[in-house]
């Protein structure tokens, strides 16, 4: 099969194409209409069809794969490991569903899940899907204020949480944060279901808080049938990270999402029934929804849920998991690979990873040195992919389940089937040609699996995503990109991270790529800083591979000049940063995204903003120290 023809058919005949893909999942009632696009940009897929995410993830595999592994829950934080077969997972999900029903939760009710990476979190998500409740997972450990805003927006009837999470051996108590958030929120949930891991003491609120273990005992033999949902009913709400003010809840459907995931597991992620999928993400992010919980299970695979770091107890932990559970496909982020790159090389060689077909990376642009290093170490294809919380599955990548389209260093790939991707000049609205920089946009209708709207705010959905290009209603990704003559896309950074230096518009990503090519630079962040003369100038913060080479001021200045000369050679003087500062840590979220706006704010003497998701607060002080306080 030729991918070019496959993609062309998907955009020329979306009804016929997606009707075929819909056969990859189970339906209780067939749909009467594949696509309803009568009210652009709102899209309805598989209209009238009845299905259920939990049924497709678990029930339909009971007869053929009931005793095979389904969920493998591993925590190197608590030294626990448990494998649940399809049948065992089915029963645990029914127990959790019965608990929820006993607490008054039904079809269309919201359930907020604020949990660490433990099996009970997956049970809760799947239980919601089973009974037609709408889950909203909030990243575990979010600060109380951020959690309160999400409680007020989703207005959950029930919150499911735990006493604590753990990171790098340090216990992170959740209950005090949750109690404070509920205190701050205008909306008060009727019940709170608490999993007690024995990590931190909990003060229970009488009449509101329910102990999960005790409730589970009362429903050990529960039989909870699947609630069949119309394809366009809501499956979940997921709030985009980094939002300010009123949070932006990405709303997802049921049928379109199930079909999109089933197709992506087959065509993109090399998913085969009986295989094992290992995504190192978290259920608080979209990757955890699509490719820890739902996607692999829908594909008939076992999925690994991992609580821990990639270097604890040592830098071989991921590869020992690959060996033990014969992992066939793995999904991680470039940041994690760069962390591993700093570790002794022998950890990559200690384990038998011959079962692994490919490593997929996403979440941020994959730089060439990192891609080349991990490819050489693992000896398997390294496949980048680009997408968003809003789309739910990849926009750009290569589909090795269709043909052997080669990857290209620095590029996540080509537009996937169903996506009509364009590069548009944001000022004129005209389409860009090869090697011309533009905004990456998608023409409607969006394919199945993408967001339906912003929860409770259709107007915000239209105004935020569909109203940015003159005289054209297209979905904006808010990312700059270029496309080469062969159709490969290169992402250059957010449109709101653009630096305008003396009238020249520069994407931070372009400068970062150049600096990262310097032999002594392991990681870099570039931000635009206000400048009275030029409007903005670029400032870089770099982590060195050999920090001992920049201990004295003379060494630092010499190295800074050498880095600038590298940029001069690759981008010209216009791309040269005004300063290059060397720091031991860069400010990042727990999911590995650089906090560029916080870095910029510190450089400009402003408040760095909401830092509830920061991985290490000390990194901000390093930035302050570097720029002189």
Q: What is the CATH number of the domain that holds 558?
A: 3.30.300.30
Q: Which of 460, 476, 492 is the endpoint of a domain?
A: 476
pLDDT at position 502 is 56
Closest by Cα among 146, 78, 86 to 112: 146
Going edge to edge, which strands form the sheet with 453-454?
209-211, 191-195, 158-162, 110-114, 134-137, 234-239, 249-253, 453-454
Domain count, the chain: 2
Q: What percent of the chain has pLDDT over 90?
A: 76
pLDDT at 158 over 50: yes
Q: What percent of the chain has pLDDT over 70?
A: 96
- Both 439 and 303 in one domain: the answer is yes
Answer whether residue 376 is part of any domain. no
Answer whether residue 463 is part of any domain. yes
> Mean pLDDT of all residues in the chain?
92
pLDDT at position 470 is 85
Answer whether residue 406 is part of any domain. yes
Q: Which of 476, 493, 520 is the endpoint of a domain?
A: 476
- pLDDT confidence band for 498 (50 / 70 / 90): low
The whole domain housing 409 covers: 3-308+385-476
Average pLDDT over residues 533-562: 90
- Both 448 and 528 in one domain: the answer is no
- Both 23 and 124 in one domain: the answer is yes
- Both 412 and 555 in one domain: the answer is no
Answer whether residue 344 is part of any domain. no
pLDDT at 172 over 50: yes
C-alpha distances in angstroms, 296 versus 69, 135, 229, 274, 509?
A: 12, 19, 21, 10, 32
- Both 166 and 82 in one domain: the answer is yes
190 or 618, which is more confident? 190
- Both 460 and 507 in one domain: the answer is no
d(CA 304, CA 481): 33
Buried residues in 12-47 as b, exposed as e (16+ CB within 10 A): eebeebbbebbebbebeeebeebbbeeeebbbbbbe
pLDDT at 504 over 90: no
What three-state secondary structure class fits 299?
A: coil
The pTM for the full model equals 0.85
d(CA 11, CA 125): 32
pLDDT at position 242 is 38
Dihedral pair phi/psi, residue 514, rounded to 5°: -65, -50
73 or 468, which is more confident? 73
Q: What is the CA radius of gyration of the chain?
A: 24
Answer whether residue 155 is part of any domain. yes
Answer whether residue 337 is part of any domain. no
pLDDT at 163 over 90: yes
- Both 465 and 568 in one domain: the answer is no
The predicted-structure confidence for 174-197, as pLDDT tens digits, reads as follows 999 999 999 999 999 999 999 999
Using CB atoms within 10 Å of the CB of residue 318, give its burial: 0 to 12 exposed, 13 to 18 middle, 19+ buried.
Answer: buried
pLDDT at 243 over 50: no
What three-state secondary structure class fits 83?
A: strand
pLDDT at 328 over 70: yes
360 or 495, which is more confident? 360
What three-state secondary structure class fits 336?
A: helix
Answer whether residue 452 is part of any domain. yes
- pLDDT confidence band for 611 (50 / 70 / 90): confident
- Both 472 and 530 in one domain: the answer is no
Average pLDDT over residues 588-612: 83
Q: What is the CATH number of the domain that holds 407?
A: 3.40.50.12780
Residue with structure tokens 């809760």?
124
Give the highest mean pLDDT range of 156-165, 468-477, 499-508, 605-614: 156-165
Closest by Cα among 407, 361, 408, 421 to 385: 361
Query: Structure tokens of 571?
Result: 């981008």
pLDDT at 244 over 50: no
């Amino acid at each position: 099969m030729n991918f070019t023809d496959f993609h062309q058919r998907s955009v020329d005949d979306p009804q016929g194409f997606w009707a075929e893909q819909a056969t990859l999942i189970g339906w209780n009632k067939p749909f009467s209409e594949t696509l309803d696009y009568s009210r652009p940009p709102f899209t309805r897929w598989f209209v009238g069809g009845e299905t259920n995410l939990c049924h497709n993830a678990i029930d339909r595999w009971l007869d053929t794969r009931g005793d095979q592994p389904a969920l493998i829950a591993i925590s190197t934080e608590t030294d626990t490991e448990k494998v649940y077969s399809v049948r065992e997972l089915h029963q645990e999900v029914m127990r959790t569903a019965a608990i929820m029903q006993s607490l008054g939760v039904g079809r269309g009710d919201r359930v907020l899940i604020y949990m660490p990476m433990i099996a009970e979190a997956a049970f809760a998500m799947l239980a919601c899907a089973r009974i037609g409740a709408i889950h909203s997972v909030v990243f575990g450990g979010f600060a109380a204020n951020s959690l309160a805003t999400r409680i007020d927006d989703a207005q959950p009837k029930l919150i499911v949480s735990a006493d604590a999470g753990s990171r790098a051996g340090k216990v992170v108590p959740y209950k005090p944060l949750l109690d404070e958030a509920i205190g701050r929120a205008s909306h008060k949930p009727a019940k709170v279901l608490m999993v007690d891991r024995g990590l931190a003491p909990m003060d229970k609120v009488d009449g509101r808080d329910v102990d999960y273990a005790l409730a589970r005992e009362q429903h050990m033999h529960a039989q909870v049938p699947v609630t069949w949902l119309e394809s366009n009913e809501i499956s979940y709400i997921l709030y985009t990270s980094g939002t300010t003010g009123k949070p932006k809840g990405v709303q997802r459907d049921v049928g379109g999402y199930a079909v999109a995931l089933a197709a992506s597991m087959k065509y993109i992620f090399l998913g085969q029934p009986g295989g094992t999928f290992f995504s190192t993400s978290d259920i608080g992010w979209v990757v955890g929804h699509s490719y820890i919980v739902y996607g692999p299970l829908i594909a008939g695979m076992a999925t690994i849920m991992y609580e821990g770091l990639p270097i604890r107890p040592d830098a071989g932990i991921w590869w020992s998991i690959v060996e033990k559970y014969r992992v066939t496909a793995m999904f991680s982020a470039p940041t994690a690979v760069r962390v591993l790159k700093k570790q002794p090389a022998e950890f990559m060689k200690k384990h038998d990873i011959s079962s692994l077909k490919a490593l997929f990376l996403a979440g941020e642009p994959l730089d060439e040195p990192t891609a080349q290093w991990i490819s050489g170490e693992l000896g398997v294809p390294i496949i980048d992919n680009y997408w968003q919380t809003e789309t739910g599955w990849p926009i750009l990548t290569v589909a090795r389940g269709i043909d052997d389209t080669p990857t290209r260093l620095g590029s996540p790939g080509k537009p996937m089937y169903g996506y009509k991707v364009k590069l548009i000049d944001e000022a004129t609205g005209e389409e860009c040609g090869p090697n011309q920089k533009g905004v990456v946009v998608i023409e409607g209708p969006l394919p199945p699996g993408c967001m339906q709207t912003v929860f409770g705010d259709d107007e915000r959905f239209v105004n935020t995503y569909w109203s940015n290009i003159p005289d054209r209603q297209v979905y904006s990704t808010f990312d700059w990109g270029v496309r080469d003559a062969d159709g490969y896309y290169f992402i250059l950074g957010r449109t709101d991270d653009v630096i305008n230096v003396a009238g020249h518009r520069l994407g931070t990503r372009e400068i970062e790529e150049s600096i990262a090519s310097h032999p002594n630079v392991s990681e870099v962040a570039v931000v635009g800083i206000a400048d009275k003369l030029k409007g903005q100038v670029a400032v870089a913060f770099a982590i060195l591979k050999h920090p001992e080479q920049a201990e004295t001021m003379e060494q630092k200045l010499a190295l800074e000049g050498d880095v600038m000369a590298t940029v001069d050679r690759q981008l010209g003087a216009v791309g040269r940063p005004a300063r290059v500062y060397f720091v031991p840590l860069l400010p990042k979220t727990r999911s590995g995204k650089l906090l560029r706006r916080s870095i910029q704010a510190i450089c400009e003497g402003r408040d760095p903003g909401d830092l509830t998701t920061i991985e290490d607060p000390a990194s901000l002080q390093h930035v302050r120290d570097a720029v002189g306080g």
